[in-house]
């Protein structure tokens, strides 16, 4: 019986035996064998985008002499939010493919919280414009909780429909671990939809342990990227979960967790970025930086590469990749060394995708019309930012530098005759507000932020995980209002204001989350914003000007956060009064 696939198999078999020439041969490679965690020398033969032979001597229509460089499987980021880079999927691919990344597991719950399923559709269309293979997870928690206002709601029925699409690999991080433990109907409906569709479910369960963690694992949730201690990591692995070693821009847990990795359990660890800022990409790289860190902390180069390739492929059911072996997809990265992991060339499905830091394929963008014009304020003014405190004794959101976790603090602050907070230069406390921007509700949540360092002016952003309302921090109501209005006028993004004037800004017109410009333009604007924040406004050097604010409204990360509906105690999972008395 004749078939096109039968012909492909015949060509692959003949190429593997040297009967016919291959499409591509990478000669003189030091091949990283992820199955045995060893290195051997030889050629790599490719035909029809698939690896035909490994380690022998082959001839091909195109020959690339690797010159003794190390050949490894293409790197796989096991959990990332593209939106946090502030660039579109096409641009993200152009930036990371030259760093050896060939596949990412993307959770688009940021844009889904703004635009719903239309956001997922846009991301999938944009992903078609890059050779980076972007595998999408359907967001599980839109909104993250029911306590604030997001731009959309994706219920169990909508999730079940999304899971039928071929480009959806599974269900994204299940942040509502309280709902899992309580076996809430809507939570069970979503989990059942995933399992009935045969799709993986990602986890998100910071601090969960004991019976609660047992229940979470029993619900069929397979991964966690929120571990902060080796004890947490080992507990999850003992329950059959995969632990994702995160090293992003906001959270850098990998160095703290790497001590949990042993030769016996290494196959249960993956590498991920979660949220990655362009500044990090340009200064440090992507997964090649993760590999560097692993090796510096005592993991063998071969073991580190296993975590970045084979483990991720097996965890997410990507059986066609993750190793350099016959029959696998020809995703290959050529490293100059296995200490710094400098990338010479990247091949994706047998085609040269990047060489010496340059992305090779032609670049085009998807249409963004369906995910623009997403900022809708109603009745906003500086007056909405006034507090009416009944006591100067207050609860504060205390920043922990380098972490998205906050501490619940208390302080005594200055107030005016109407009970509004008055900034005091002697205290490192500023006002923070979350302004609802999706439905024109007019909601404004007010709180106090300690440890940001700001002494004057204001910073506003439309990236406020996960509902992505506008969050603003400042020393006075006037500058805070001006910053919010500037963000609205530019269809979302970031604005830094001093004395009523915008001194640095970056429009993010794609859902108020991403730019439609190239990465270098975005990074230039970001540098201006960071310089203005640190130098003009006095924000602490060890505090991220933007990303710190981005996570101050995420009600699934302990201990205390601010929503458009009020101050939220994450541990109690309920609202709390700002007054401490």
Domains and CATH numbers, the chain: 72-355 (3.20.20.140), 372-575 (no CATH)
Here the tokens at position 393 are 């004794």
pTM over the 0.85 mark: yes
What pLDDT, on a 0 to 100 scale, did the predictor assign at position 5?
87
- What is d(CA 488, CA 438) in angstroms, rounded to the nearest whole number? 11
What is the SS3 assignment for 168? strand
* DSSP codes of every residue in 1-25: ---HHHHHHHHHHHHHTTSS-EEEE
CB-based contacts of 9, cutoff 8 Å, min separation 6: none
What pLDDT, on a 0 to 100 scale, did the predictor assign at position 335?
98
Q: In what order do the strands lie in the sheet with 393-399?
A: 406-412, 393-399, 444-450, 429-435, 470-474, 458-461, 493-498, 501-507
Block mean pLDDT (10 aa), the chain, length 581: 84 91 97 98 97 92 97 98 96 98 97 95 97 96 87 93 92 90 94 96 91 96 94 97 92 92 97 92 96 97 98 97 98 98 98 98 96 96 96 96 89 96 95 97 97 98 95 98 98 98 98 97 96 98 92 90 96 93 79
The single-letter DSSP state of residue 375 is -
What is the SS3 assignment for 311? helix
* DSSP codes of every residue in 531-564: HIIIIIS---TTS-TTHHHHTTT-TTSSSEEEET
What pLDDT, on a 0 to 100 scale, did the predictor assign at position 1?
62
Here the tokens at position 193 are 């939809």
Q: Are 230 and 200 in contact (CB under 8 A)?
A: no
User: What does the pLDDT look like over 27-51, one tens digit per residue?
Assistant: 999 999 999 999 999 999 999 999 9
* DSSP codes of every residue in 508-538: -TBTTTBBSS-HHHHHHHHHHHHHIIIIIS-
CB-based contacts of 524, cutoff 8 Å, min separation 6: none
Crossing angle between the packed helical segments 301-308 and 287-296, to the nearest 10 degrees: 140
CB-based contacts of 147, cutoff 8 Å, min separation 6: 555, 563, 565, 568, 575
- 203 CB-side CA count, 13 A: 31
Between the alpha carbon of residue 235 and those of residues 228, 232, 247, 443, the distances in Å are 12, 5, 20, 41
CB-based contacts of 548, cutoff 8 Å, min separation 6: 250, 399, 452
């Amino acid at each position: 019986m004749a078939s096109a696939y039968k012909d492909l198999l015949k060509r692959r078999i003949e190429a593997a035996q040297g009967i016919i020439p291959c499409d591509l041969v990478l000669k003189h490679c030091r091949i990283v064998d992820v199955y045995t965690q060893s290195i051997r020398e030889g050629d790599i033969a490719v035909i029809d985008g698939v690896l035909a032979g490994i380690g022998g001597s082959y001839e091909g229509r195109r020959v690339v002499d690797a010159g003794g460089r190390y050949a490894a499987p293409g790197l796989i980021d096991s959990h990332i939010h593209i939106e946090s880079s502030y660039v579109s999927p096409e641009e993200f691919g152009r930036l990371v493919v030259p760093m050896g990344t060939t596949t990412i597991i993307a959770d688009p719950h940021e844009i889904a919280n703004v635009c719903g399923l239309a956001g997922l559709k846009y991301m999938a269309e944009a992903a078609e414009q890059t050779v980076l293979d972007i595998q999408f997870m359907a967001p599980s928690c839109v909104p993250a909780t029911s306590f604030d206002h997001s731009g959309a709601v994706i219920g169990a029925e909508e999730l079940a429909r999304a899971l039928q699409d071929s480009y959806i690999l599974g269900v994204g991080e299940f942040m509502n671990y309280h709902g899992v433990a309580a076996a809430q109907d809507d939570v069970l409906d979503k989990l059942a939809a995933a399992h009935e569709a045969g799709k993986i479910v990602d986890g998100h369960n910071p601090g969960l342990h004991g019976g609660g963690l047992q229940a979470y694992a029993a619900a069929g949730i397979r991964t966690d990227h929120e571990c902060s201690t080796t004890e947490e990591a080992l507990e999850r692995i003992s329950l059959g979960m995969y632990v994702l070693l995160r090293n992003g821009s906001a959270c850098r847990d990998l160095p703290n967790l790497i001590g949990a990795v042993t030769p016996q359990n290494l196959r249960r660890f993956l590498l991920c970025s979660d949220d990655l800022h362009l500044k990090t990409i340009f200064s440090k790289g992507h997964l090649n930086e993760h590999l560097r860190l692993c090796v510096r902390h005592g993991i063998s180069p071969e073991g580190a590469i296993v975590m970045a390739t084979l483990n991720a492929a097996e965890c997410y059911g990507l059986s066609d990749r993750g190793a350099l072996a016959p029959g696998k997809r020809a995703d290959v990265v050529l490293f100059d060394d296995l200490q710094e992991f400098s990338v010479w060339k990247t091949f994706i499905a047998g085609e040269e995708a990047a060489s010496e830091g340059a992305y090779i394929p032609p670049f085009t963008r998807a249409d963004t019309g369906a995910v623009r014009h997403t900022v809708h304020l109603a009745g906003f003014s500086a007056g909405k930012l006034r507090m009416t405190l009944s006591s100067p004794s207050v609860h504060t959101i205390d920043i922990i530098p380098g972490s998205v976790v906050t501490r619940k603090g208390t302080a005594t602050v200055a107030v005016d005759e109407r009970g509004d907070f008055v900034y005091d230069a002697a205290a490192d406390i500023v006002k923070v507000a979350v302004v609802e921007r999706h439905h024109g509700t007019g909601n404004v949540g007010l709180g106090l932020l300690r440890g940001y360092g700001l002494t004057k002016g204001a910073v506003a952003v439309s990236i406020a995980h996960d509902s992505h309302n506008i969050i603003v921090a400042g020393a006075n109501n006037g500058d805070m209002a001006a910053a919010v209005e500037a963000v609205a006028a530019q269809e979302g993004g970031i604005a830094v204001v001093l004395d009523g004037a915008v001194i640095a800004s970056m429009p993010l017109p794609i859902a108020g989350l991403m730019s439609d410009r190239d990465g270098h333009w975005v990074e230039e604007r970001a540098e201006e914003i960071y310089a203005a924040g640190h130098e003009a406004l006095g924000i602490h050097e060890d505090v991220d000007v933007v990303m710190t604010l981005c996570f101050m409204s995420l009600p699934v990360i302990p201990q205390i956060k601010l929503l458009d509906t009020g101050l939220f105690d994450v541990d109690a999972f309920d609202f709390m009064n700002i007054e401490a008395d």
